[in-house]
């Protein structure tokens, strides 16, 4: 997953080779990360049922040798900001819409069109030079009549270049969506190697796997108050050693993550280690600490220390 310098590839433009950048946007919990993982065929972005799971822009690379390379940008869900980290996530998402070849605007079939949907739609209307595909997700959760009505409602609101209805869970229309994406891709050269699936380094991937388990194993309060740092990473050919810290804002949250007799933190360590050993095909020694850093989500300096530096995106 380490970055590859594009100049090192020495690839020349090929009139038959499709390559370009696609930004995936939408409000929280509409299925952006799930769709990207399905398209790429690998776990690139973490997925939970908690809103605002994605905090950083993550590029996933979809390759088909000698035919195409599509770079998919997974963005945080755009929402009404309350804290500094909310503004960071929204800024990341809007920044991801710049200098892209195509925008996928994801909206759910099973929920009412809300103010965040309309806010995104109004911003996208201003981007007249960038083609946009409206992707109505979670089609398997509503009736055909409800789905047709949702399509009609959106056609009256948003002038998309193309509209498609999908179900990532049922794999409905995923291939058709890829065909639509390729329709808008320019003829260009490769930006990444054939075997690369993300532009993110190992350190980021490990951090996200730990955060995913925190999101999955805690209630509504803890997930958005938690962050992860990788304090030490030694990646050797035959093993990997990791020292990480989970930060929360209150002592009570620390107790929730540790669990009775350390049961929850041990379970988090076990699940993360198992995924890492499968991903990297070698033994992993993982140590995780839990620390309290009060009000870190409202402090620009603490956000930067946690890895949420707006100047890097």
Answer yes or no: is 181 a known binding residue.
Answer: no
139 is in an annotated binding site: yes
Closest CA to 95 of 192, 191, 21: 21
Q: Is 33 annotated as a binding residue?
A: yes
Is 137 annotated in some ligand binding site? Answer: yes
* CB neighbours of residue 155 within 10 Å: 12
CATH topology of domain 202-312: GMP Synthetase; Chain A, domain 3 (3.30.300)
Is residue 252 a known part of a binding site?
no
For the chain, residues classed under CATH 3.30.300.20 are 202-312
Q: Where in the chain is the domain with CATH 3.40.50.300?
A: 6-183
CA distance 284 to 276: 7
Cross-sheet strand order for the sheet of 18-25: 58-64, 68-74, 18-25, 102-108, 132-137, 162-165
Mean pLDDT by 10 residues, the chain (313 residues): 45 72 89 90 69 62 92 73 56 66 95 91 90 96 95 95 95 96 90 82 86 82 78 93 93 91 94 93 95 83 68 43
- For residue 74, say whether it is annotated as part of any ligand binding site: yes
Establish whether 223 is an annotated binding residue.
no
SS3 243: strand
* 227 known ligand binder: no
- On whether 279 is known to bind a ligand per the annotation, the reply is no
pLDDT single digits (tens) 79-89: 555 555 556 55
pTM of the model: 0.73
Residue 126 counted as an annotated binding residue: no
- Quick: pLDDT tens for 220-266: 666 578 888 889 999 999 999 999 999 998 899 999 999 999 999 99
Q: Is 28 annotated as a binding residue?
A: yes
What is the third-level CATH fold of 6-183? Rossmann fold (3.40.50)
Residue 77 marked as a ligand binder: yes
Judge whether 168 is annotated as a binding position.
no
Is 2 labeled as ligand-binding? Answer: no
Place of tokens 């605007």: 105
203 is known to lie in a ligand binding site = no
Q: Which H or E element spans position 145?
A: helix 144-157
User: Is residue 255 marked as binding?
Assistant: no
> CA–CA distance from 144 to each of 106, 135, 174, 175 (Å)?
19, 16, 18, 20
Q: According to the annotation, is 261 in a ligand binding site?
A: no
């Amino acid at each position: 997953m380490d970055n590859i310098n594009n100049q090192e590839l020495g690839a020349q433009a090929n009139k038959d080779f499709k390559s370009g950048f696609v930004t995936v946007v939408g409000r929280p919990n509409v299925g952006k990360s799930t769709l990207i993982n399905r398209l790429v065929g690998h776990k690139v972005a973490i997925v939970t049922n908690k809103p605002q799971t994605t905090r950083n822009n993550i590029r996933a690379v979809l390759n088909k040798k000698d035919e195409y390379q599509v770079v998919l940008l997974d963005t945080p869900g755009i929402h009404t900001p309350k804290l500094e980290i909310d503004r960071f996530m929204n800024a990341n998402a809007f920044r991801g819409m710049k200098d892209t070849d195509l925008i996928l605007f994801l909206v759910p079939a099973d929920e009412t069109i809300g103010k965040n949907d309309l806010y995104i739609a109004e911003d996208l209307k201003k981007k007249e030079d960038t083609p946009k595909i409206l992707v109505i997700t979670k089609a398997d959760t509503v009736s055909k009549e409800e789905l047709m009505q949702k399509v009609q409602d959106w056609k009256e609101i948003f002038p998309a270049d193309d509209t498609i209805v999908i179900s990532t869970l049922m794999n409905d229309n995923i291939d058709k969506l890829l065909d639509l994406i390729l329709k808008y891709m320019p003829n260009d050269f490769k930006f990444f190697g054939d075997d690369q699936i993300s532009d993110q380094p190992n350190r980021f991937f490990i951090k996200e796997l730990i955060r995913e388990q925190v999101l999955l194993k805690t209630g509504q309060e803890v997930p958005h108050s938690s962050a992860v740092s990788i304090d030490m990473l030694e990646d050797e050919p035959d093993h990997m050693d990791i020292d990480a810290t989970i930060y929360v804002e209150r002592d009570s949250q620390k107790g929730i993550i540790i669990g009775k007799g350390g049961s929850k933190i041990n379970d988090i360590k076990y699940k993360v280690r198992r995924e890492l050993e499968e991903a990297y095909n070698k033994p992993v020694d993982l140590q995780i600490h839990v620390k309290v850093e009060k009000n870190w989500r409202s402090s620009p300096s603490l956000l930067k220390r946690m890895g949420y530096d707006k100047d890097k995106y």
